[in-house]
Structure 1
């Protein structure tokens, strides 16, 4: 990789992830991380991010086998969210009898749908290596 391409890759990673930290690993630990990365088609950085996400209780990054199903679920959730928005908008414009409790419930469910959809999108992002392989 030439110097310009390397600088562009670093800038791209900086925009995606923001913060940089430096961690020291033993030779055995680093070998384990590299082995996981090779098996998963990910960089050591991506392996560490996945481990941190798992420890923090976030959803994992989807495997390539699961990716199409998760993309489909995210699309279905987008459609559900659109329907919730239409229902609330109809109440707000007087086309449907207004019910404050129902409106609050629809908004709460809509927010949950959006949150879950965003988590699914994160799961399908994957590593840089995986995205480049799909391109």
Structure 2
């Protein structure tokens, strides 16, 4: 069977609306439209053979060798190597820094000014009798 050019054009036009059959399709080598990326240079620790591509990870790692603890708790002065460690320390109810509001009349401490005020009010009420 032979098709003339107009029939072939009509046939190609018709088939252009059909979905591709299932199964793998190979179109080029897969690199079209992708920017070429070279691997990031690795950072190597000056104290040991540890390496990483992330600067923040290397800074945190070097602190294990130097003992630097730049994040300090304002209540107990304990130092931490990361901000996350400090936040975890200060969020634990059993820690004294979780209760930064101290009563001036007794050793009690409170996590908020409102609770300290309530304590003072109750203390003054009981001590006036």
TM-score, with structure 2 as normaliser: 0.24
Higher RCO structure (Cα 8 Å, ≥6 apart): 1
> Which structure shows the higher strand fraction?
2
